[in-house]
Amino acid sequence: MSVLIKNGRIVTAAEDYVADLYIENGKISAIGANLAYKADKVIDATGKLVFPGGIDPHVHLDMPFMGTYSSDDYETGTRAALFGGTTTVIDFILQTQGDSLKNALTTWQEKSIGKAVGDYSYHMAVTDFNDDVAKEVVEFIEKEGITSFKTFMAYKGALMIDDGQMVQLMKVVKKHGGLVTVHATNGDMIDSLIAKNLSEGNTAPLFHYLSQPEVTEAEASARFTDMLHYTGCTGYIVHMTCEGALNAVQRAGLRNQKIFVETCPQYLLVDASVYENNFEGAKWVMSPPIREKKDQKALWAGLQQGLVNTIGTDHCPFTWEQKQMGRNDFSKIPNGHPAIEHRLELIYSEGVRKGRISLNKFVEVTATNSAKIFGMYPQKGTLAVGSDADVVIFDPEKEHIISKDSHHMNVDYSSYEGWKVTGKTETVLLRGQIAIEDGKCHLKPGSGQFVKRGKTSYII
């Protein structure tokens, strides 16, 4: 199948020009003015933006967590992602403590193969490090194309590893050219604040926020950067929320470290007043919690300065019924919220339209940098001859309203219910196939492919 996209405004992390784009056999095969190729399908993109399919480096699909499972599986989650212009997601495999990485990989392959609609890859979450796991880490990097290893400095008893395990993991990962990623919050401090709040009868979602003050994230982020410095490993901090944590990364820069940082739309766009509204705040119970306006300011500045490299979603949806598990105890509210579908539209509308970031920066932080950091570039994350034809045709002027009634995520509320945004994903191609057109998904479960990743590129 061949596709010719005519007259679009082609935007990559580095370029911005009007041209035609020709696609053959799933790859971009030519880009230029007035291309005279015959194609099976011609799309007129006059007045539209044409940019690379988004890459969401942080999603949780069908994930067992806090006594339940995130409500989007590989089919519903990757389809919703496509509707929003995200063609590739990186999900997290969770090692069960006491079990092998290989068994966890098998479990996640059963969740994804034959079900994913869009492309996907996995980070491997190491929750129990020992000599056997060290050997598996090497195999994952060298053979499986899974080159990033997630660690948790919180969620003790379920996911957290201690600093000794962290350092040992970093040494192995460094030796083989991988990357250690981290949920950087101080689990022990948080657990003691949760216990104190509950013992005083403070059970509302507000106390989820008050049990994870900024220092818990700033301290853990600094500790992580110190361990990276000691081991020489490359690191990536997921879902950064606050000024204190960003300052820790800036300080690491003073001793010549380069640490990659991800933030999420919710930390850029929403502030902690969402927790004031009694149990409604459960919609925003996630870890780390939503922070202050001064933190939003720091994160936008961090994006502009190149300190913050990617915007993921940390999509981890739970239905309103699932959120009721914590009706009388905030610590039992499953942590996470739905976001996979609206990342590009929110960041375009609130970031680009409002002059906070440029269009090139938008592409860089929603696609290109994730492809580079996680070893998928230039197959993914750009529009170039030879790259996968993952393409978004985006109407920059179209106004619409985000709502649970129109979204495609398997969850019965939208965190952004009623938000008016400008800019809409119109047509999406996945490896040259029409994925989204005229408000419909044209791909079936099983269309999504696993993306085997290379070692950290160190390009940025």
- What number of other Cβ atoms are within 10 A of residue 87's Cβ? 31
Separation between Cα atoms, residue 178 and residue 260, nearest integer Å? 13
Nearer to ligand URP, 54 or 338 (CB): 338
Nearer to ligand URP, 60 or 453 (CB): 60
Residue 286 interacts with, from ligand URP, Zn ion, none (CB under 5-8 Å by kind): ligand URP
Nearer to ligand URP, 287 or 296 (CB): 287
Separation between Cα atoms, residue 460 and residue 456, nearest integer Å? 10
Query: At its nearest, how many Å lie between ligand URP and the CB of residue 335?
Result: 3
CB-based closest residue to ligand URP: 335
Nearer to Zn ion, 314 or 388 (CB): 314
Separation between Cα atoms, residue 435 and residue 390, nearest integer Å? 10
Q: Would you call 131 exposed, middle or buried from its count of C-beta atoms within 10 A (0-12, 13-18, 19+)?
A: exposed
Phi/psi of residue 408, nearest 5 degrees? -115, 5
Question: Contact with ligand URP (CB under 6 A): which of 186, 335, 368, 414?
Answer: 335
Separation between Cα atoms, residue 42 and residue 22, nearest integer Å? 9
Cis (ω within 30 of 0) for the bond into 288?
yes
Here the tokens at position 429 are 């191609």
Q: Considering just the CA atoms, what is the radius of gyration of the chain in Å?
A: 21
Which residue type, as a one-letter code, is found at position 117?
V
Residue 336 interacts with, from Zn ion, ligand URP, none (CB under 5-8 Å by kind): ligand URP
Element (H, E) at 298: helix 293-305
Nearer to ligand URP, 239 or 372 (CB): 239
Query: At its nearest, how many Å lie between Zn ion and the CB of residue 340?
Result: 12
Which residues, in sequence order, are CB contacts of 175 under 8 Å at separation 6+? none
Question: Contact with ligand URP (CB under 6 A): which of 53, 187, 205, 336?
Answer: 336
Ordered strands of the 148-152 beta sheet: 54-59, 86-94, 119-125, 148-152, 179-183, 235-237, 260-263, 310-311
| Residue 60 binds to ligand URP (criterion: CB under 6 A) | yes
Helical ranges in 160-290 per DSSP H: 163-175, 187-199, 206-210, 214-231, 243-254, 265-269
Question: Contact with ligand URP (CB under 6 A): which of 166, 242, 286, 421?
Answer: 286
**Interface characters, 166-185, with ligand URP (x: CB under 6 A):** -----------------x--
| Residue 314 binds to Zn ion (criterion: CB under 5 A) | yes
| Residue 409 binds to ligand URP (criterion: CB under 6 A) | no
Nearer to ligand URP, 63 or 170 (CB): 63
Nearer to ligand URP, 70 or 349 (CB): 70
Nearer to ligand URP, 60 or 342 (CB): 60
**Interface characters, 14-53, with Zn ion (x: CB under 5 A):** ----------------------------------------
| Residue 183 binds to Zn ion (criterion: CB under 5 A) | yes
The residues binding ligand URP (CB under 6 A) are 60, 183, 286-287, 314, 316, 335-336
The residues binding Zn ion (CB under 5 A) are 183, 314
